[in-house]
Amino acid sequence: MADVIDDRRPSLPELRHTAAHVLAYAVQDLFPEAKPTIGPAIENGFYYDFDRESPFTPEDLERLERRMAEIVKADYPMTGRVVTRQEAIDAFAGNPYKVELARDIPDAEPITLYTIGEFTDLCRGGHADSTGAIRAFKLMSVAGAYWRGDEHNPMLQRIYGTAWHDRAELDAHLARLEEAQARDHRKLGAELDLFSIEEQAGGGLVFWHPKGAVIRGIIENFIREGLRERGYQPVVTPHVVSERLYEISGHLENFGENMFGPIEVEGQTFRLKPMNCPGHILIYESKLRSYRDLPIRYSEFGTVYRFERSGVLHGLTRVRGFTQDDAHLFCMPEQLQHEFEQTVEEARRLMDAFGFTDMQYVLSRRAEKDRTETDEIAEDAIRKALESNNLPYDVDEGGGAFYGPKLDINVHDAIGRSWQLGTVQVDFVLPARFGLKYRGSDSQDHRPVMIHRALAGSLERFFGILIEHYGGAFPAWLAPIQVVVTAISQDQNAYAREVTARLEGAGFRVTLDESNEKLGYKIRHWKTQKVPYILVTGKQEVVDGTVNVNQRGVDEKRNISVESFVEELRKTIEAKQ
């Protein structure tokens, strides 16, 4: 770790881009056999990829940090110059990666070289004025990365680092990382026995263990309750369907690289479904529809499959098979506004119930070349829905789906990280592709508008984010085990069983611990399992008909009657506290 004082204050991307150059300079000095390739600024830091036969070790990173500190202290100015393509190729004749980059720069773009001290790099620019502007930095880790992200290219070594304006910002960032590691859903998923990903079955495929499946059921039931209230009809569609369906929808053309390969059966080609929408469309067009039928709202907890390369798989948040709280609405154009507003209200109810109170709304528009006149109608509906709810929003140019603009719903978790969860999309394209229609009040055929809606998104990803948001300490209404009952000694086990039966009769999720372990051990164990309530029964509790309540997060223990505890827990669960 290094901390250097300087008066200049470039932007963080400029600072981090400069730090990447400093890292490459240090690697060149200490490991001259390593070939530098690409080193950009990224969110919260920077990285640089190197082609080197020997792996970088933690000791190497320490040496590199010390050399970087010397380069920073020297306060080398960052100087740039425009060169010809041939000059750039000649300057990096011994580095095939830089030569390839120089050859690929478009003719209309300037080719620039930037120098600090004795190190020159091929770069577009965007730096601090000098190395002395880097006030606080740290090298974080080493990982493998394919050249240009292509698995057919050589594997490189990527050194990650972080850089900030001052030591306080760096320390705060490192503290956030430490907290994030403690909340890592992969770690907590194993410790709390919630889920696993079994390599024998294949990467990116989730196995829900009993406790995780309990929470998933609670999530699904909560969402189903809202769907029923809003008039959604449940449907179920096949996991494998004809490839022709995705040719019609446009998914094969626009989403094909994210789909699993074809399955040949008796001369017909099938695909694992990557989306539920074409199946819902087939249900809609299975019979004639009238304007009196609309809006039609279909919902499905539909499992879909998408091809993700192994290098990007990440616990529950990036998988190959997942279930969506998916729904599709078919409505008349004049109903679009109301239906979209209802969907935004549903999203707010869902996020609030699960503890996400800091939300960000993003209107994602299609790229200019893909826009049609219906995009304006769809975007207007999204804007009005947000404005009618007094919700501020951002605009993401080019972030829309291939069939239309959408509303992305992001949440910030307990430690301030942003996650994209819900998505609501307005679609005029798929109804046209499938020739959907309804008979209007004028006895003529008209085309419905379609709304795609997945508010939790992937249940796997939603669960992973929930684990990290709560650090595994789920509120009582979500906890897979709400109460553990245990006795101080075997003599009170009969009463503990009686208490357990009364709680189970009240509808609570209860575990009875009759083990012969010491009480302190049992309490410590169940605390590590983050159970909201541990009820202890001893001699006095048996006499008084009470329980001693150990509540998670509360130091003070208390004795109350079983009836009082039942009422207290019921109110807590109903309030979703």
Residues forming the active site: 277, 306, 324, 326, 328, 406, 452
For tokens 């449907």, name the residue.
235
Q: Are strands 533-537 and 483-487 parallel, antiparallel or unpaired?
A: parallel
Task: Output the CA torsion 335→338→341→346 (10° steps).
Answer: -90
| Closest alpha carbon to 157 in 85, 273, 60 | 60
Phi, psi (degrees; rounded to nearest 5) at 403: -105, 5
402 vs 367: CA distance, rounded Å = 9
DSSP character string of 31-84: -TTPEE----EETTEEEEEEE-SSPP-HHHHHHHHHHHHHHHHHT-B-EEEEE-
CA angle 266, 269, 272 (to 5 degrees): 120
Overall residue count recorded for the chain in this entry:
577
Q: What is d(CA 187, CA 195) in angstroms, rounded to the nearest whole number?
A: 10
Helix, strand, or coil here: 480? coil
Closest alpha carbon to 457 in 414, 406, 415: 406
- Which one-letter DSSP state was computed for residue 366? P
Six-digit token pair at 308? 């993700």
Do 438 and 493 meet the contact criterion of CB atoms below 8 Å apart?
no
Backbone angles phi and psi of 493, in degrees to 5: -60, -35
Only one residue has tokens 């990116």, namely 204
Q: Is 290 exposed, middle or buried (0-12, 13-18, 19+ CB in 10 A)?
A: exposed
Tokens of 33: 């056999």
The rounded distance, in Å, linking the Cα atoms of 343 and 337 is: 10
Packing angle, helices 210-229 and 459-470, rounded to 10:
110
Single out the residue of 446, 445, 448 nearest to residue 431, CA to CA. 448
Angle at the Cα of 210 (from 537 to 222), degrees rounded to 5?
A: 95
The tokens 């410790």 sit on which residue?
A: 191
Which helix (H) or strand (E) is 500 found in, with range?
helix 493-505
Strands 136-146 and 119-122: unpaired
Q: What are phi and psi of 3, to 5 degrees?
A: -140, 120
Give the integer Cα–Cα distance in Å for 445 and 126.
56
Query: What are the backbone dihedrals phi and psi of residue 322, each rounded to the nearest 5 degrees, phi first?
Result: -155, 160
Question: How many CB atoms are closer than 10 A to CB 43?
Answer: 8
